[in-house]
Amino acid sequence: MYVDFHTDAGFLGPAFHVRTTAARSVTFNWTVSWNMAIHQGVGISAGGSWGKITLFANLLDNTTGSWVLGGLHPSNRIYVVAYPTPRGGAGSGNHSYSLKVSANLTSGDPYLFYTGFGTLADANCAPCFSMGKGQYALGTVDVGSPGHGAWLNWIRVR
């Protein structure tokens, strides 16, 4: 049995303009507070349950309708935390993270900021049915309970 639960949440805006056409860098600073637990029953082989939290950023050129980094979900994701360990584990954290987008921006074009975070929890228990009772796989990622969350602190264009 394999269960994959993935969420992405982000926001688009506000709009901004640059005065001169030039290479720019846009930095997005986040704080993420999280709990994660990855567990497997005795005898479950490696490559079982795991979880991760990612952050992503992009810009939308509102004149052309195109994404500056080539797609809604760009490849510049950074991993806040990942537990891909075969035997699982648990942990928590509260840290700040920065993502940087570098691109040539055109004077006069309106751009929209786009940033967000994603969570992924996988539970893989393929041998559970053949191994009998007591076998399980569990992956949980918590960024939504009281005291935990993901906050965008600031955005800077240079």
Determine, yes or no, domain membership for 61. yes
pLDDT of residue 26: 93
Determine, yes or no, domain membership for 156. no
The mean pLDDT value for 94-117 works out to: 92
Q: How many CB atoms lie within 10 A of CB 100?
A: 14
Determine, yes or no, domain membership for 158. no
CB of 119 within 8 A of CB of 67? Answer: no
**Which run of H or of E encompasses 131?**
helix 128-131
Rounded CA-CA distance 154/158 in Å is 13
Determine, yes or no, domain membership for 73. yes
- Mean residue pLDDT across the chain: 79
Confidence of residue 1 (pLDDT cuts 50, 70, 90): low
CB of 117 within 8 A of CB of 18? Answer: no
Give SS3 for 128. Answer: helix
Determine, yes or no, domain membership for 109. yes
Confidence of residue 143 (pLDDT cuts 50, 70, 90): confident
Plot region of 80 (φ>0 → left; ψ -120 to 50 → alpha; else → beta): alpha
Q: Does the reported pTM lie above 0.85? A: no
Full DSSP string of 83-127: E--TT-EEEEEEEEEEEEEEEEE-TT--EEEEEEEEEEEEEE-TT
Nearest alpha carbon to residue 32 among 70, 84, 82: 82
pLDDT of residue 46: 45
The domain in which residue 81 lies consists of 2-151
Does the structure show a pLDDT above 80 at 125? no
Query: Please, which residues bridge with residue 115 across strands?
Result: 11, 57
pLDDT of residue 142: 81
Q: How many domains does the chain have?
A: 1
Determine, yes or no, domain membership for 105. yes
